[in-house]
Amino acid sequence: MSNKRKDCIISLPCLEDARKKNIDQNTIYRNYYFVDEFLKSFGIGKKYFIRTYGCQANVRDSEVVAGIFKEMNMLETQDISDADIIVINTCAVRENAVDKMFGEIGSCKAYRKNKCQVCAVIGCVCEQPDNVEKIMSKYPHVNMILGTHELPFFADNLSKLLQNNYKRLINVKSQGGSVYENFPSMRQNNYKAFVNIMYGCNKFCSYCIVPYTRGRERSRLMEDIIKECRDLVNNGYQEITLLGQNVNAYGKDLKNGSSFAKLLEEVAKLNIPRLRFTTSHPFDFSDDIIDVIAKYDNIMKSIHLPVQSGSDEILKLMARRYNSKQYKELVDKMRKKIKGLTLSTDIIVGFPNESEEQFEKTLEMVDYAKYESAFTFIYSPRKGTPAAKLNDNISDEIKHERFNRLVKRLEVYVSNYALSMVGNTYKVLVDGPSKSDKSMFSGYTESNKLVHFKCDDSTLIGKIVDVKILESHTYSLIGELL
């Protein structure tokens, strides 16, 4: 009999299933996970390393995985070569994020020869069949591949892998998904917290992979979210960011009268000093949400409102569900009703066959909305999405040239806003020593501007202080602590 170790393939991703629009398992599970005795003794004296790519949803997921390791009696290490377990939490939204991940898992091979017993790749990349095939054939040292829906069962999967001495374990489900409560968690920060209010996305914008990797839109119950937020307030947290791919759609699936406006108001009433939320889709941004934002001082007036394009034709091809006129009306309404509003956005350049004229509509939109901050991306085809099937007659060179032009145009407004802050005093939530200059501390204003200021008092970390702005750069400010 051969003693060759076996693979354990529980489930592989399937784009057909991921594409299904119905919610197949919208159930709330409260008692689902536990860390068994085997893992608890396995973990003693061992260390873990987690690398996180992608959005805040992934950051929060990594905090859950860290919480499971904590229950396994493991300690975190920042030195990947010293880790017994390596977890790479991946993002599939653009090809460059996927490339970075492959680079990183390539370098894990050396660690697996030494100390590392488990190299796990988890998250959105694992929901794509091609990527899983590639990992399985080219990166045999990766011995656990788990999809986003397996996060609640991370410990069960790990225990199965180790107890059975499998060569590797692959478990990726493509499904609508469920809601799980009572996650273990090790928050990365003790004054700023991310709180999921919903999972998944139903929008299916034609370029975007997220609905396929994260399943259907499903909301947590208001009472569960409020309890989590209340605990954070009681523990001294200064800032909560409510998370969802499309927070304005919160509650629609619950069909019990819950809505984002109601939830936002209830959380604001808990008196958390700073309340943020992301991401808002322009389509569902109703008046009652705007009114709640305007009403509560502790709801930050910096709102992320991705426009993606200023061209009606492109917006239609993107399946964004609004046109440029509707977006502009929304911006007008928000600027009028919300005092001190700052807007940020996401823009994609080089959607298939985007003409010069269509691109110029995006520049026009930038001039109209005068964004105080923006993220810009070059379109990246995602296999399995409708846009990836379109032929594209625009060269990379043209796309890069437009990208640079767009960034320059955005910088006019971003710099103007930064300049308008000079001489004024703002409340800054202190994060600690600045990454580039250790003699400076940094933090964020209510409008989410990064400020550096001279300070060496570490007791101020996690506190909100007054900083007078002395100098402005496009993406950051220099100030003085008052």
Binding site for ligand F3S (CB under 6 A): 54-55, 57-58, 91-93, 124, 209-210, 213-214
Binder of residue 379, out of ligand SF4, ligand SAH, ligand F3S, none (CB less than 5 to 8 A by kind)? ligand SAH
Min dist CB 228 to ligand SF4, Å, is 23
Rule CB under 6 A: say whether 306 interacts with ligand SAH: yes
CA-CA-CA-CA dihedral for 266, 151, 182, 63, to nearest 10: -70
**CB-based contacts of 238, cutoff 8 Å, min separation 6:** 191, 192, 272, 273, 274, 429, 462, 463, 464
Min dist CB 230 to ligand SF4, Å, is 28
Min dist CB 90 to ligand F3S, Å, is 7
Min dist CB 211 to ligand SAH, Å, is 9
**Which one, 91 or 272, has the nearer CB to ligand F3S?**
91
**Which one, 210 or 267, has the nearer CB to ligand SF4?**
210
x/- track of binding to ligand SAH for residues 39-78 (CB under 6 A): ----------------------------------------
Min dist CB 210 to ligand SF4, Å, is 4
DSSP line for 64-115: HHHHHHHHTT-EE-S-GGG-SEEEEEE--SSHHHHHHHHHHHHHHHHHHHTT
Cα–Cα distance between 139 and 263 in angstroms, integer?
44
The helices-and-strands tally (H runs, E runs) of the chain is: 14, 22
Dig out the tokens for 104 from the structure.
Answer: 């990183």
Rule CB under 6 A: say whether 168 interacts with ligand SAH: no
**CB-based contacts of 356, cutoff 8 Å, min separation 6:** none
Q: Which of residues 203-232 bind ligand SAH (CB under 6 A)?
A: 207-208, 210
At residue 428, φ and ψ (nearest 5 deg) are -125, 130
**CB-based contacts of 481, cutoff 8 Å, min separation 6:** 441, 453, 454, 455, 465, 466, 467
Contact 56, 19 (CB under 8 A): no
**CB-based contacts of 1, cutoff 8 Å, min separation 6:** none
Binder of residue 91, out of ligand SF4, ligand F3S, ligand SAH, none (CB less than 5 to 8 A by kind)? ligand F3S
**CB-based contacts of 2, cutoff 8 Å, min separation 6:** none
Min dist CB 385 to ligand F3S, Å, is 12
Rule CB under 6 A: say whether 442 interacts with ligand SAH: no
Binding-site ranges for ligand SF4 (CB under 6 A): 201, 203-205, 208, 210-211, 245-246, 281
Name the 3-class secondary structure at 471.
strand
**Which one, 159 or 279, has the nearer CB to ligand SAH?**
279
x/- track of binding to ligand SAH for residues 377-416 (CB under 6 A): x-xx-x----------------------------------
Q: Which of residues 234-253 bind ligand SAH (CB under 6 A)?
A: 245-246
Catalog residues that contact ligand SAH under the rule CB under 6 A.
Answer: 93-94, 207-208, 210, 245-246, 279, 281, 306, 308, 346, 348, 377, 379-380, 382
